[in-house]
Amino acid sequence: MESIFEPETICKIEVVGNDSEFMAFFDKHPKGILCVPESLVGLSQYNVVMPETYRFTKWINKKRKDITINVAQSEGTKSLNSNDFWMPIVFLASDVSLPVFLNLVSSYIYDLMKGALKHDKANIHLKTFFRDDRAAVTKTLSYSGPAEKFLQIAKDGNLDKFIN
C-alpha cells in the first residue's frame, strides 16, 4: 500500500513562453548563476527568494570560486517549515550548462545530507531557467521529489529517462 505522504516525483522540461526577464539577464550576464525571487518568474506576488538561496550561494562561493553566483534584490526569504530542500529559482548564463548546475546542486545536497540519519528522507524542489541554443528557446527544468532520485539524475546526466 502506498502512503499518501510519499511525494510524487515531478521532473519536467518546458519551453518558457514569456522569457523577457531571463533574456534581459542572459544579454547582460554572459557568465554565472542568478538566484531570483519567485515574483520575477510569476510564481508569487511577493518578492521573496527560496529558503536555501543564501546558504547555497555561500556554499558555491566557498567550493567553486570559478563560478559566479548572485542573488537578485528581494524583500526577504520565503518561510517553509519542513525538512525539504527548497533550492533557489535560478537563471543560468551561457557558461553554466544544465548538467554542471545539476551536479552543483547534487554536491550541495550530498554535503547537507552527510549527517542525516539513515531513515531521514529529504525532498528537493528546484526550478532552473536555461537557454537551449540548439532550439533557440528558453526552457525551464522543474524537479520536485526525493533527494535520492535527484542525486541519481545528476549522477547519470541523462534527464530524458526521468522527465515526465
Q: pLDDT for 59-101, tens place per residue?
A: 999 999 999 999 988 887 777 667 788 899 999 998 888 888 9
Nearest residue to 34 (alpha-carbon basis) of 15, 21, 16: 21
SS3 111: helix
CA distance linking residue 141 with residue 125, whole number of Å? 11
- Predicted pLDDT of residue 18: 84
State mean pLDDT over 105-131.
Answer: 86
d(CA 45, CA 23): 21
**Mean pLDDT score of the chain:** 83
**HSE value, Cβ hemisphere, 13 Å, CA-based, for 109:** 28
Look at residues 122, 66, 60, 65 and name the one whose alpha carbon lies nearest to residue 88. Answer: 60
**What predicted TM-score, i.e. pTM, was given to this entire model?**
0.82
